[in-house]
């Protein structure tokens, strides 16, 4: 057990920094075991802070060698070290030059925060609070400084020395050399970066709209150069898109991306020097799936877009994290929608939101998009801050329209450039640019929980009047018992009995409108009256998923009708999914009562219809064919039953595979790819549809087809789709496929991650024994976050029927992994706790076992504060 209780930070306690740092000079002497960091800080009292506020510098694990103020050595009595690693300087002058020298050990740094080594090279990660592991500094985003960085290193071991901004000088003789980088833009410490080592670059150029020539470099290990093309192409398209759509240009002469295989998250937007997980840079057709290609495009764009939304305009404090993350996710979603199929992109994003954010919002870690408090900020890089945050930006976009939103962005940037600001500043810019009062939208930032809406309607044939009543309600979450109504834009239309879209006229309007319109539900209950409605219509609600809410209680006959007729592709897809979900939940109940599982012929009919119309849009058809996931179904139940859900889904897949066998096979055969491998939206869509067919055919018992596809595959998408299906089954085909895949890819980290993940997610009765055995595999490495996630998180989050095995062994496996990982990498360990927090939504027996494991985690000596926060909140 921890002997202290970690401090909780509250949003309401914000106070401006006591001192500002106008300029920072950093000088590194790189050495894996003992790196020296000399820092020169030009400090001055912040006029906006109390005149006697102490000069406190954050630090974490730093060994101070020397400290001087304006050239004079500071005596020990003026240096006060805090238990948290900080350094306070007694009797500070109103302004001065503070110089410190510290020593750190990058090769011993397994947390991957601060300066660390990977494969013999040096990398940094400073967001959110990693800079304090490099030097003493007011490590908070509202202290913005201009940086000059000098790096000395061994010429042979570190031929490449990178930092933010522009390279201004270099030199050195003999074994060591040095370079100096200067970043002209003031920035918070979390955007500092340094990369050094034996790296090679793939280079290109981009000319901005106003004629700036930008050198683009992607830095990778020798041998990886041939797999950078897609990342580079994505970068250039992102740069062009941000100019065209938002009028935002790049603002330095060089843009560097460095790829590293030991990395805590996806990527990091450091000014002028993005650092990426190799997973989001390297791709070749043989080794990367179509999903990987799309992930690279999205993440490259996301980090690039941060240059304006995050870097030029940054966050005042970490409670405002969604100011940059929600907005930047919204921007990368729009970019990807413009690059491919907007409808399919929206479906995927909503699927992701429901798979991760909805459960979070209904569980013990539920928090508002702008949280009120935290113990460890690392724990708040969540689906709520990112995905729900993006949905809230989208709500505002929907409410005020694209043109006003663009004016709002211009205003937001003009007003706040080079400043650290709050979510209010963003909403105010949107409000001022649109002239629409957005004050009630703050409810979306400050209330946790997913609002639920329900519709009721009435048709009066004599008056030809249709009344639609919408109600909303947000369930209570911890610390927020009573919720206010929030403004919910409901994009909608009315379909006539013939399935045709009808013009709509509200009672308050003079003329009818055609197509989709947006109602604004602001109160707990509101009625909308439509006139001149010739026949009882079917309402199509929440088109394009116009708000992150749960729409409850749409009757099945309407779902079927909408799935076929609606003009909005999202609602067509959604209605099919909701129909299937409602059938499946009924079957789960039957399974629990011990009754035989029947079959709803309408599901086979829907599959047949989808296949018949698939030519028009294969990617959409693929989305429509996939049954609602196990997690989505569990999230619909008060008390989940992961085993019953799994059985029902498997049963349905097999039944559909049998009943639609010939049509599925015909589609599968027709989509065989004969030409050269291509990665474009159409080709990706065809592969997705073909693999969706393969999944049903395999579920119906035909494993020969999957085996044949696996043996013949020339691209990773087809190979992996087949391998996943084989790995789910039994017998020699499974073992042979896994062995040959491993033999072929043993030298490729990113592909081996897939090999681990596929086995961890195979819903076989021996899954727990398998993951335990894989943990002892020579290729397993707990220290590498990608590898740790590929086995542990894939199992706990991606294999619910086995994770929730009634023996409790799945829970024990996860807790063991968290306890082993915590001292190595506390951020990753804390992230793994999540699935154990869902105990309230499990049976009493499972819940007791889950709580026992959470308690065991909490009882571990010296637990990191992040893991403490997750495990203790999970138990509440």
Enter the tokens of residue 401.
């329209």
In sequence order, the 6+-apart residues with CB closer than 8 A to the CB of 27 are 36, 37, 38, 39, 149, 150, 151, 152
**Binding map of ligand TRP across residues 328-367, x = CB under 6 A, - = no contact:** ----------------------------------------
In sequence order, the 6+-apart residues with CB closer than 8 A to the CB of 507 are 529, 530, 531
588 binds, among ligand TRP, Zn ion, none (CB under 5 to 8 A by kind): none
For the bound state, the minimum distance from the C-beta of residue 756 to ligand TRP, rounded and expressed in Å, comes to: 21
For the bound state, the minimum distance from the C-beta of residue 94 to ligand TRP, rounded and expressed in Å, comes to: 34
For the bound state, the minimum distance from the C-beta of residue 389 to Zn ion, rounded and expressed in Å, comes to: 10
381 binds, among Zn ion, ligand TRP, none (CB under 5 to 8 A by kind): ligand TRP
Positions 75 through 94 that interact with Zn ion (CB under 5 A)? none
Are residues 857 and 833 in contact, defined by beta-carbon separation less than 8 angstroms?
yes
Query: By CB under 6 A, which span of 246-254, 259-267, 535-543, 865-873 interacts with ligand TRP?
Result: 259-267
| Contact pick of 325, 361, 568, 600 for ligand TRP (by CB under 6 A) | 325
Q: Which of 220/300 has CB closer to Zn ion? A: 300
- Binding of residue 139 to ligand TRP (CB under 6 A): no
125 binds, among ligand TRP, Zn ion, none (CB under 5 to 8 A by kind): ligand TRP
- Rounded CA-CA distance 468/455 in Å is 7
Q: Which of 282/580 has CB closer to ligand TRP? A: 282
DSSP 183: E
- Rounded CA-CA distance 657/69 in Å is 75
**Binding map of ligand TRP across residues 582-601, x = CB under 6 A, - = no contact:** --------------------
Q: Which of 256/801 has CB closer to ligand TRP? A: 256
For the bound state, the minimum distance from the C-beta of residue 85 to ligand TRP, rounded and expressed in Å, comes to: 19
- Rounded CA-CA distance 329/323 in Å is 10
Q: Which of 177/279 has CB closer to ligand TRP? A: 279
DSSP 407: H
| Beta strand spans in 172-272 (E) | 176-188, 194-197, 200-207, 213-220, 254-260, 267-268
From the list 40, 46, 48, 45, the residue with the least C-alpha distance to 23 is 40
Residue 121 — φ and ψ, nearest 5°? -100, 165
- Binding of residue 825 to ligand TRP (CB under 6 A): no
For the bound state, the minimum distance from the C-beta of residue 328 to ligand TRP, rounded and expressed in Å, comes to: 7
CA dihedral sign of residues 100, 101, 106, 110: negative
Residue 28, strand partner residues: 37, 151
21 binds, among Zn ion, ligand TRP, none (CB under 5 to 8 A by kind): none
Are residues 445 and 392 in contact, defined by beta-carbon separation less than 8 angstroms?
yes
- Binding of residue 268 to ligand TRP (CB under 6 A): yes
Checking 707-711 for CB contacts under 8 A at 24+ apart, the result is 707/733, 707/737, 710/737
Residue 80, strand partner residues: 88
Q: Which of 61/729 has CB closer to ligand TRP? A: 61
Are residues 653 and 699 in contact, defined by beta-carbon separation less than 8 angstroms?
yes
For the bound state, the minimum distance from the C-beta of residue 188 to ligand TRP, rounded and expressed in Å, comes to: 12
From the list 777, 748, 747, 771, the residue with the least C-alpha distance to 758 is 771
Is 586 noted as a catalytic residue in this protein?
no
Q: Which of 325/568 has CB closer to Zn ion? A: 325
Rg (Cα) of the chain, in Å, rounded?
28
**Binding map of ligand TRP across residues 2-31, x = CB under 6 A, - = no contact:** ------------------------------
| Contact pick of 218, 232, 267, 490 for ligand TRP (by CB under 6 A) | 267
Query: Which residue is associated with the tokens 């006539």?
Result: 496
Q: Which of 111/416 has CB closer to ligand TRP? A: 111
Positions 115 through 134 that interact with ligand TRP (CB under 6 A)? 125, 127-128
Residue 456, strand partner residues: 469
Positions 305 through 334 that interact with Zn ion (CB under 5 A)? 325, 328
Number of helices and strands in the chain (H, E): 30, 32
Q: Which of 87/268 has CB closer to Zn ion? A: 268
In sequence order, the 6+-apart residues with CB closer than 8 A to the CB of 374 are 8, 9, 318, 319, 380, 869
Say if strands 19-29 and 144-154 run parallel, antiparallel, or are unpaired. Answer: parallel
Positions 683 through 712 that interact with ligand TRP (CB under 6 A)? none
Residue number with the smallest Cβ distance to ligand TRP: 265
From the list 75, 78, 72, the residue with the least C-alpha distance to 91 is 78
- Rounded CA-CA distance 241/245 in Å is 6
Counting Cα atoms < 13 Å in the Cβ hemisphere of 123 gives 32
Q: What is the DSSP string of 345-403?
A: HHHHHHHHIIIIIHHHHTSTT---SS-SEES-GGGG-SHIIIIIHHHHHHHHHHHH-HH
For the bound state, the minimum distance from the C-beta of residue 501 to ligand TRP, rounded and expressed in Å, comes to: 39
Query: By CB under 6 A, which span of 171-179, 261-269, 535-543, 759-767 interacts with ligand TRP?
Result: 261-269
759 binds, among ligand TRP, Zn ion, none (CB under 5 to 8 A by kind): none
Catalytic residue among 269, 303, 325, 360: 303
| Contact pick of 86, 100, 150, 264 for ligand TRP (by CB under 6 A) | 264
Q: What is the total count of residues that contact ligand TRP (CB under 6 A)? A: 13
Are residues 842 and 364 in contact, defined by beta-carbon separation less than 8 angstroms?
no
Q: Which of 275/849 has CB closer to ligand TRP? A: 275
Q: What is the total count of residues that contact Zn ion (CB under 5 A)? A: 2
Are residues 696 and 660 in contact, defined by beta-carbon separation less than 8 angstroms?
yes
185 binds, among ligand TRP, Zn ion, none (CB under 5 to 8 A by kind): none
For the bound state, the minimum distance from the C-beta of residue 264 to ligand TRP, rounded and expressed in Å, comes to: 4
For the bound state, the minimum distance from the C-beta of residue 626 to ligand TRP, rounded and expressed in Å, comes to: 28
- SS3 annotation, 16-74: CCCEEEEEEEEEEECCCCCEEEEEEEEEEECCCCCCCCCEEEECCCCEEEEEEECCEEC
- Binding of residue 265 to ligand TRP (CB under 6 A): yes
For the bound state, the minimum distance from the C-beta of residue 268 to Zn ion, rounded and expressed in Å, comes to: 8
The total number of residues written for the chain in this structure: 876
Q: Which of 266/291 has CB closer to ligand TRP? A: 266
- Binding of residue 309 to ligand TRP (CB under 6 A): no
127 binds, among Zn ion, ligand TRP, none (CB under 5 to 8 A by kind): ligand TRP
From the list 562, 679, 692, the residue with the least C-alpha distance to 618 is 692
267 binds, among Zn ion, ligand TRP, none (CB under 5 to 8 A by kind): ligand TRP
For the bound state, the minimum distance from the C-beta of residue 397 to Zn ion, rounded and expressed in Å, comes to: 18
345 binds, among Zn ion, ligand TRP, none (CB under 5 to 8 A by kind): none
For the bound state, the minimum distance from the C-beta of residue 312 to Zn ion, rounded and expressed in Å, comes to: 14
DSSP 823: T
- Binding of residue 234 to ligand TRP (CB under 6 A): no
From the list 80, 81, 161, the residue with the least C-alpha distance to 124 is 161
- Binding of residue 269 to ligand TRP (CB under 6 A): yes
264 binds, among Zn ion, ligand TRP, none (CB under 5 to 8 A by kind): ligand TRP
CA dihedral sign of residues 564, 570, 574, 577: positive
Enter the tokens of residue 95.
């302004």
**Binding map of ligand TRP across residues 848-867, x = CB under 6 A, - = no contact:** --------------------
Q: Which of 265/648 has CB closer to ligand TRP? A: 265
DSSP 472: E
CA dihedral sign of residues 729, 734, 737, 741: positive
Positions 381 through 400 that interact with ligand TRP (CB under 6 A)? 381
User: Catalytic residue numbers?
Assistant: 303
Site of interaction with ligand TRP (CB under 6 A)? 125, 127-128, 264-269, 302-303, 325, 381
User: Which residues of this protein are in contact with Zn ion, per CB under 5 A?
Assistant: 325, 328
């Amino acid at each position: 057990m921890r002997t202290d209780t970690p401090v909780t930070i509250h949003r309401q306690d914000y106070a401006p920094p006591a001192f500002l740092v106008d300029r920072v000079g950093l000088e590194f002497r790189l050495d894996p075991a003992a790196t020296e960091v000399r820092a020169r800080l030009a400090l001055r009292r912040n006029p906006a802070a109390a005149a006697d506020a102490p000069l406190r510098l954050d630090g974490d694990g730093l060994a101070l060698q020397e400290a001087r103020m304006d050239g004079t050595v500071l005596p020990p009595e003026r240096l006060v070290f805090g238990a948290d690693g900080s350094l306070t300087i007694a009797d500070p002058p109103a302004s001065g030059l503070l110089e410190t020298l510290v020593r750190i050990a990058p090769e011993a740094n397994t947390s991957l925060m601060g300066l660390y080594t990977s494969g013999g090279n040096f990398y940094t990660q400073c967001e959110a609070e990693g800079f304090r592991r490099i030097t003493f500094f007011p490590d908070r985003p509202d202290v913005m400084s201009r940086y000059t960085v000098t790096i000395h290193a061994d010429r042979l071991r570190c031929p490449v020395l990178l930092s933010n901004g522009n390279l201004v000088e270099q030199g050195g003789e003999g074994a060591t050399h040095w370079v100096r980088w200067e970043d002209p833009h003031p920035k918070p410490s979390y955007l500092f970066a340094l990369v050094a080592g034996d790296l090679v670059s793939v280079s290109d150029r981009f000319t901005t709209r106003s004629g700036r020539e930008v050198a683009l470099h992607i830095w990778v290990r020798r041998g990886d150069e041939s797999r950078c093309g897609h990342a580079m192409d994505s970068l250039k398209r992102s740069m062009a898109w941000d100019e065209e759509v938002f009028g935002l240009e790049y603002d330095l002469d060089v843009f560097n991306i460095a790829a590293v295989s030991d990395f805590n998250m996806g990527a990091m937007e450091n000014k002028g020097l993005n650092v990426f997980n190799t997973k989001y840079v390297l791709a070749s057709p043989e080794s990367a799936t179509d999903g990987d290609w799309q992930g690279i495009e999205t993440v490259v764009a996301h980090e690039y877009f941060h240059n304006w939304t995050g870097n030029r305009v940054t966050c005042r404090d970490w409670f405002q994290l969604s100011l940059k993350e929600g907005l930047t996710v919204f921007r990368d979603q729009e970019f990807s929608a413009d690059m491919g199929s907007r409808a399919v992109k929206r479906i995927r994003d909503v699927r992701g939101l429901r798979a991760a954010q909805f459960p979070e919002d209904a569980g013990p870690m539920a928090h508002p998009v702008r949280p009120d408090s935290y113990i460890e900020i690392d724990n708040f890089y969540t689906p709520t801050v990112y995905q729900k945050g993006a949905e809230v930006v989208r709500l505002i976009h929907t409410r005020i329209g694209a043109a006003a939103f663009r004016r709002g962005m211009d205003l937001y940037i003009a007003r706040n450039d080079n400043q650290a600001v709050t979510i209010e500043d963003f909403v105010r810019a949107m409000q001022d640019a649109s002239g629409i009062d957005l004050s009630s939208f703050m409810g979306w930032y400050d209330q946790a929980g997913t609002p639920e809406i329900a519709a009721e309607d009435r048709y009066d044939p004599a008056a030809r009047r249709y009344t639609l009543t919408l109600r909303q309600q947000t369930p209570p979450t911890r610390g927020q018992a009573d919720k206010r109504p929030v403004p919910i834009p409901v994009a909608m239309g009315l379909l006539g009995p013939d399935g045709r879209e009808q013009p709509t006229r509200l009672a308050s309007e003079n003329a009818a409108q055609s197509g989709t319109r947006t109602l604004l539900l602001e109160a707990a209950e509101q009625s909308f009256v439509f006139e001149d409605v010739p026949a009882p219509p079917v309402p199509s609600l929440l088109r394009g998923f116009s708000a992150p809410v749960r729409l409850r209680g749409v009757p099945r006959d309407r779902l079927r009708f909408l799935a076929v007729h609606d003009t909005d592709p999202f609602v067509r897809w959604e209605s099919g999914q909701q129909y299937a979900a409602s059938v499946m939940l009924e079957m789960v109940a039957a399974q629990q009562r011990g009754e035989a599982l029947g079959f709803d012929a309408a599901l086979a009919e829907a599959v047949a219809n989808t296949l018949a119309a698939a030519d028009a849009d294969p990617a959409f058809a693929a989305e429509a064919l996939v049954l609602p996931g196990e997690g989505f179904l569990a999230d619909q139940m008060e008390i989940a039953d992961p085993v019953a859900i799994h059985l029902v889904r498997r049963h349905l897949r097999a039944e559909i595979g049998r009943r639609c066998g010939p049509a599925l096979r015909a589609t599968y055969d027709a989509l065989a790819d004969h030409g050269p491998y291509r990665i474009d939206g159409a080709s990706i869509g065809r592969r997705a549809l073909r693999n969706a067919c393969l999944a049903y055919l395999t579920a119906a018992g035909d494993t020969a087809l999957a085996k044949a596809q696996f043996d013949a595959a020339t691209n990773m998408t087809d190979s992996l789709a087949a391998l996943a299906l084989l790995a789910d089954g039994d017998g020699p085909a499974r073992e042979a496929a896994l062995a040959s895949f491993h033999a072929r890819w043993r030298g490729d980290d990113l592909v081996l991650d897939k090999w681990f993940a596929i086995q961890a997610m195979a819903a076989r009765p021996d899954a727990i024994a398998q993951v335990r055995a894989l943990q002892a595999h020579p290729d397993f490495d707990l220290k590498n976050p990608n590898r740790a996630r590929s086995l542990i998180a894939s199992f706990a989050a991606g294999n619910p029927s086995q994770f929730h095995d009634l023996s409790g062994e799945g829970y024990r496996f996860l807790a063991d992994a968290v306890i082993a990982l915590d001292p190595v990498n506390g951020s990753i360990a804390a992230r793994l706790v999540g699935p154990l927090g869902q105990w309230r939504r499990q049976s009493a027996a499972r819940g007791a076992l889950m709580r026992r494991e959470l308690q065991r985690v909490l009882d571990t000596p010296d637990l990191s504060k992040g893991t403490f926060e997750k495990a203790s909140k999970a138990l509440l």
